[in-house]
Amino acid sequence: MAKERTLAIIKPDAVGRGLTGEILKRIHEAGFQVIATKSMRLSKAEAEGFYAVHRQRPFFADLTDFMSSGKVVVLALEAENAIAKWRDTMGATDPAQAAPGTIRKEFGVNIQNNCTHGSDAPDTAAFELSFFFPSHDLL
Ligand code: ATP
Ligand code: MG
C-alpha cells in the first residue's frame, strides 16, 4: 500500500501537562515518519477556521476556546494507512470509551480535553496539512 499522510495536533491540555515528549515517543514507536512539525498558539479565529466543519455543533465555542487556550504541537505524519493508523493510536474521541493502551485512554481528561487531534479522511487530511504547512515544508 502507498504511503499516506495525516495531520496530528498535540492539544493544549497535553502540551500544558508536559506530555509532548511521551506522545512523540508513541508516534515514533507506532512507526510514523515526522515530515514536518511546529509549536504554535492558535488564535481563536484560527481555531474556528480549522474546526469550521464543527461550527454548528453545540461544543464549537468551547472547543475553539480550548484549542486557542495554549500552545499546540502540529505534526505532518507519514506511514502506510496513516490516517486510520493515527486514529487507532489516539483512541476514541471520548477517553472513557477509548481502547486500553491508546493515548486518549491513558492521558485524556474528558471528551474535549482528549490530548490529540487526527484527520479523519483523505480530503480533510489534505485540507488540514495545507492549513498548517506550506507545500515546501511537505516535500
Ligand atoms: P479530532 O477531530 O480532534 O481528532 P475526533 O475526530 O475524535 O477528534 P470530532 O467529532 O472531530 O472528534 O470532534 C472534534 C473535537 O471536538 C474532539 O476531539 C473534542 O476535543 C471535541 N468534542 C467532540 N465531541 C464533543 C462533545 N460532545 N463535547 C465537547 N467536546 C467535544
Ligand atoms: Mg475530528
CATH homologous superfamily for the domain 3-133: Nucleoside diphosphate kinase-like domain (3.30.70.141)
Distance 4 CA to ligand 2 centre (A): 18
40/84 Cα distance (integer angstroms): 25
In this structure, what C-alpha cell is assigned to residue 41? 498558539
pLDDT by 10-residue block (mean), the chain, 139 residues: 93 98 98 98 98 97 98 98 98 98 98 98 98 96
Q: What pLDDT shows up at residue 97? A: 98
Q: What pLDDT shows up at residue 90? A: 98
Contact 9, 116 (CB under 8 A): yes
Which residue in 28, 54, 117, 136 is the catalytic one? 117
Dihedrals phi, psi of 129, to nearest 5 degrees: -60, -45
Q: Which residues contact 42 (CB under 8 A, 6 or more apart)?
A: 50, 67, 68, 72
Domain regions of the chain by residue span: 3-133
Q: What pLDDT shows up at residue 2? A: 82
Burial of 119 (0-12, 13-18, 19+ CB in 10 A): buried
